[in-house]
Amino acid sequence: MDSRRFRTLFSLSLAVMDVAMVAAAFLGAYRLRKLIPWPAEAVELPPRFLPYLGVLVIHVMSVLLVFFLFRMYHLVRATSRVDLFYSIFGGLTVATLLSVALSALLLKNSIFEVNLPRVMVFYAWAGGVLLVTLGRWALQQIRAALQMRGAVQDKVILIGTGEVARLVIQKIQNQPYLGYKLLGLVDGPGASAEARPEQSRGVEGYPVLGQTEDLPRLMDQYGVDEVIIATPEAPDEEMVQLISLCYREGVSIKVFPDVFELMAAGVTIDDLGGLPLLNVRDVALRGWKLTFKRAMDLVGSAIGLVLLSPLMMLIALLIKLDSPGPVIYVQERMGLDAKPFPVFKFRSMRADAEVNGPGWTVKDDPRVTRLGRFIRKYSIDELPQLINVLLGDMSLVGPRPEQPAFVEQFQLMIPRYMERHREKAGLTGWAQVNGLRGDTSIMERTKYDLWYIENWSVWLDIKIIVRTLVRGIFFDRSAY
């Protein structure tokens, strides 16, 4: 099926599903209020639902209008279930308030003017949040299944052949539910034909189709649906030229950002006597924000240690039985303001793993024990770090801490790397819930960490914690 037609049909199916779920929730609210007449109302509900038909129509139309304004029928490539629930929660809250106000205004002195109990409004709102969420989750699964089977795919060309392009390719390969069909790559600006990989070899198994000047021909030849520009190092002039070459009606153009662009959400315009200046927002945690985050850390780590203590005792016993050595491994890491602190982990490697100094862990590392592979896969080895959080060395959410030896290397290689230490190190982080854990690009992890620091909010921390817990419960490393 043509991907553009599929997007249109899927948007319509979302609207139909929303109407069905909202109407079902409203009908259920009426029946529930009839079955449970509490609290007592001055006016009894009509014995039949028909008088509430006008309110139902206004409520459904309000939901469709608010969801449309909230861009909830604008399909994104992939959205987490947590983000989807948050959008539905906010959209239905606004829509319910709007429908109550419009019903009181438009239905006054009409045949549809009825008593609308507050508890019935609450039932309709709560039921709507639940049913609309379930309905959209079901449609998401259908869409993902179709895209994974190749029934609906967008034809994509990737501009760039460097490290960033390889990272994008890995994401596309590891997440087939995104619905991408990568046709090939195009050399970034300034690349010479001699420096180009051989056509037969390509990059990660994908051919290099040409250079930037070939883009108009390639897009027409292959009927491209989307272009991803993975050359964040390109100057602004060349980036503008690339976008103009790719522009076609109905073609989506996406640009992989550089470090400064990741900071753009925190930039405002100031002036110096009429001279415009860019003012980078200071988002450092201070005052009530710092107090609130610390309170979350104390409560969360204390509850976690109590609830997980049976599992932690079992893991400790299994480690003792699996290999000789201590159960808890203590290692120096860099935290807030680049100050070292001892981090606690369940030992997942042989006791002599770092006898020759610290070493970067890679896939199928021979130093990892049999049990260690399992507990590292599901991050169980990091549970003792709840003690670090309780003591105040770490936070529940923040950039993951690194060893001092690696920090010295990375700060020389990666711009702004040390700014990760503006906040406490975290048990989990924005980079980790987006799949950047273990032996992955430090450059990309740093970008995610800087974005988290620049865009910190209470909701962002809660979302990261929820996504971490969902991954831990369902062992699903991709769908959240």
Q: Using DSSP, state whether 140 is helix, strand or coil.
A: helix
Whether 464 maps to a domain, the answer reads yes
In this structure, the answer to whether residues 15 and 103 fall within a common structural domain is yes
In this structure, the answer to whether residues 184 and 120 fall within a common structural domain is no
Amino acid at 471: R
pLDDT in tens, the chain (480 residues): 677 788 889 999 999 999 999 999 999 999 998 888 777 655 567 778 888 999 999 999 999 999 999 999 988 777 778 788 989 999 999 999 999 999 999 888 888 888 888 899 999 999 999 999 999 999 998 988 888 887 888 899 999 888 888 888 888 888 888 888 999 999 877 555 454 544 445 788 899 998 888 898 998 899 898 999 988 778 878 888 888 888 887 788 888 876 555 544 555 666 555 566 655 555 556 677 788 899 999 999 999 999 999 999 999 999 999 888 899 989 899 999 889 999 999 998 888 777 676 666 767 677 888 898 888 888 889 999 999 999 999 999 999 998 898 888 888 888 788 888 888 999 999 988 887 776 677 888 888 888 888 788 888 899 899 888 877 655 444 333
Encoded tokens for 465: 């914690």
Whether 265 maps to a domain, the answer reads no
Query: Pick from 256, 271, 297: which residue ends a domain?
Result: 256
Please report the pLDDT score of residue 473 as a whole number: 56
What is the gyration radius of the CA atoms in the chain, in angstroms? Answer: 27
Query: Pick from 148, 166, 192: which residue ends a domain?
Result: 148
Q: Roughly what angle, to the nearest 10 degrees, separates helices 81-106 and 118-148?
A: 140
Please report the pLDDT score of residue 340 as a whole number: 93
Whether 278 maps to a domain, the answer reads no
Whether 272 maps to a domain, the answer reads no
In this structure, the answer to whether residues 65 and 110 fall within a common structural domain is yes
* CB distance 373 to 363 below 8 Å: no
How far apart are alpha carbons 114 and 269 in whole angstroms? 51
How far apart are alpha carbons 31 and 67 in whole angstroms? 26
DSSP state at residue 414: S
Whether 263 maps to a domain, the answer reads no
> Which structural domain range is residue 441 located in?
287-474
Beta strand 208-210 with 180-186: parallel, antiparallel or unpaired?
Answer: parallel
CATH number for the domain including 229?
A: 3.40.50.20
What is the number of domains present in the chain? Answer: 3
pTM reported for the whole predicted model: 0.69
How far apart are alpha carbons 189 and 456 in whole angstroms? 34
Whether 382 maps to a domain, the answer reads yes
Please report the pLDDT score of residue 201 as a whole number: 54
Q: Using DSSP, state whether 359 is helix, strand or coil.
A: coil
Amino acid at 341: F
In this structure, the answer to whether residues 225 and 351 fall within a common structural domain is no
In this structure, the answer to whether residues 463 and 386 fall within a common structural domain is yes
β-bridge partners, 328: 346
Amino acid at 57: V
In this structure, the answer to whether residues 107 and 200 fall within a common structural domain is no
DSSP string, 285-322: --HHHHHHHHHHHHHHHHHHHHHHHHHHHHHHHHHHHH
Query: Pick from 114, 148, 182: which residue ends a domain?
Result: 148
Residue 39: asked if its preceding bond is cis (omega within 30°), the reply is yes
In this structure, the answer to whether residues 142 and 160 fall within a common structural domain is no
In this structure, the answer to whether residues 192 and 305 fall within a common structural domain is no
Whether 317 maps to a domain, the answer reads yes
Whether 298 maps to a domain, the answer reads yes
Encoded tokens for 136: 């959209």
In this structure, the answer to whether residues 365 and 324 fall within a common structural domain is yes
| Side-chain-facing half-sphere of 379: CA atoms under 13 Å | 20
In this structure, the answer to whether residues 399 and 305 fall within a common structural domain is yes
- Tell me how far CA of residue 266 lies from CA of 33, 135, 284, 426, 456, in angstroms: 47, 35, 12, 22, 10
In this structure, the answer to whether residues 109 and 195 fall within a common structural domain is no
Residues 6+ apart with CB under 8 A from 464: 397, 428, 429, 430, 433
Please report the pLDDT score of residue 318 as a whole number: 93
Q: How far is CA 270 from the centre of its chain?
A: 31
Residues 6+ apart with CB under 8 A from 397: 426, 427, 428, 429, 430, 452, 460, 461, 464, 465
In this structure, the answer to whether residues 98 and 247 fall within a common structural domain is no
